[in-house]
């Protein structure tokens, strides 16, 4: 597969010089995201996130399987991120690139290990039957900042997702089809989001939010902070690159918190809009067989 074209020396210097003069190529502020859009599909659990020219589609699905032997009480939760040549011809099928490995690890740490989804609630029969929830992340168009867009898409897809309702009666497990019973939402504990900072300059003194692909190619380092709207940090990843001052990092974390609060309210708003759209005759509350927690 062909390699991704690198920016020329002129282009590189132009971007850096502009940044020194407090200007970005697309005229944004340093801590400003590109226009963010989120649409849900007709099916449950499909979220399409557009961040400028970056576009990520996440689809959640669930099926009943046998749990892992060492964790008989926990359901299975997987996030699959396979970058296809759709995003860029430099990605090859079946051969993960560094971007792909980092993306899947970061999503894993942010969403799975922060306990956003209560896996114990996915257990149906201890040691025999559990739900296996899977999120497939499809990158349709890659123009930088995949991590933030993918994380938002995954969280949105999972919160939008409804799994089939089940019941246990005298040892017999019944999984109801959507026609029999309205599917139920997952037991969701908190919504973490990623905010990625890119650093430029000799000592990483310039920090940008939501770098485009061009800017990502020129940056000297990056730092991804995952946190929820309560300010609870799930992980901070700064993988190599130029060292950055601790004070700068602290400031970055503070700004990240305000951005995460924005994401959180944005997602809440979109989810509420979608529920309203689906709830045409106002019968959703009656259809639901779910108990209040």
Provide the binding-site residues for another protein, judged by CB under 8 A: 1-2, 41-43, 46, 53, 55, 57, 59, 61, 63, 80, 82, 84-89, 93, 134, 136, 138, 140-143, 164, 175, 177-179
Cβ proximity to another protein: between 189 and 283 the closer is 283
Tally of CB atoms within 10 A around 2: 7
Q: How far is the CB of 123 from another protein (least distance, A)?
A: 18
- Among residues 41 and 72, whose Cβ is nearest to another protein? 41
Smaller CB distance to another protein: residue 138 or 270? 138
How far apart are CB 194 and another protein at their closest, in Å? Answer: 22
**Who contacts 183 (Cβ-Cβ below 8 Å, separation ≥6)?**
44, 162, 163, 164, 165
The owner of tokens 């407090």 is 22
Q: How far is the CB of 267 from another protein (least distance, A)?
A: 21
| Residue where the block lists tokens 């951005």 | 259
Closest alpha carbon to 111 in 142, 66, 56, 156: 156
Supply the minimum distance, in Å, between the C-beta of residue 266 and another protein: 22
Q: Which is nearer to another protein, 82 or 262 (CB)?
A: 82
Minimum CB distance to another protein smaller for 43 or for 128: 43
**C-alpha dihedral (267, 273, 276, 277), degrees to nearest 10:** -120
Q: Report the chain's C-alpha Rg in angstroms.
A: 21
Nearer to another protein, 77 or 197 (CB): 77
Q: Are 175 and 166 in contact (CB under 8 A)?
A: yes
Residue in 155, 129, 137 with CA at minimum distance from that of residue 75: 129
Give the nearest distance from C-beta 174 to another protein in angstroms.
11
Structure tokens at 206: 């310039």
Measured CA to CA in angstroms, residue 148 lies from 3, 120, 168, 290 at distances of 24, 27, 39, 32
Name the minimum Å distance from CB 280 to another protein: 16
């Amino acid at each position: 597969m062909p390699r991704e074209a690198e920016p020329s020396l002129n282009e590189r210097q132009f971007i850096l010089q502009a940044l020194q003069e407090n200007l970005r190529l697309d005229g944004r502020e340093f801590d400003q995201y590109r226009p963010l859009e989120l649409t849900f599909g007709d099916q449950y659990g499909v979220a399409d996130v557009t961040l400028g020219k970056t576009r990520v589609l996440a689809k959640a699905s669930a099926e009943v399987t046998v749990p892992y032997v060492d964790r008989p009480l926990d359901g299975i939760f997987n996030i699959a991120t396979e970058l296809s040549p759709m995003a860029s011809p430099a990605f090859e099928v079946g051969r993960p690139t560094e971007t792909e490995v980092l993306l899947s690890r970061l999503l894993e740490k942010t969403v799975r290990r922060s306990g956003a989804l209560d896996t114990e609630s996915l257990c149906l029969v201890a040691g025999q039957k559990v739900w296996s929830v899977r999120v497939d992340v499809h990158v349709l168009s890659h123009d930088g900042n995949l991590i933030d867009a993918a994380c938002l898409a995954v969280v949105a897809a999972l919160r939008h997702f409804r799994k089939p309702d089940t019941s246990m009666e005298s040892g017999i497990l019944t999984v109801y089809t959507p026609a029999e019973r309205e599917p139920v939402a997952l037991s969701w504990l908190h919504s973490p989001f990623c905010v990625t900072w890119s650093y430029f300059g000799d000592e990483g003194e310039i920090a940008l939010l939501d770098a485009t692909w061009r800017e990502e190619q020129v940056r000297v380092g990056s730092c991804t902070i995952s946190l929820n709207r309560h300010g609870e940090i799930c992980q901070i990843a700064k993988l190599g690159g130029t060292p950055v001052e601790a004070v700068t990092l602290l400031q970055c974390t503070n700004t990240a918190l305000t951005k995460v609060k924005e994401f959180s309210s944005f997602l809440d708003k979109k989810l509420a809009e979608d529920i309203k759209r689906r709830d045409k005759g106002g019968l959703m509350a009656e259809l639901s067989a779910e108990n209040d927690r």
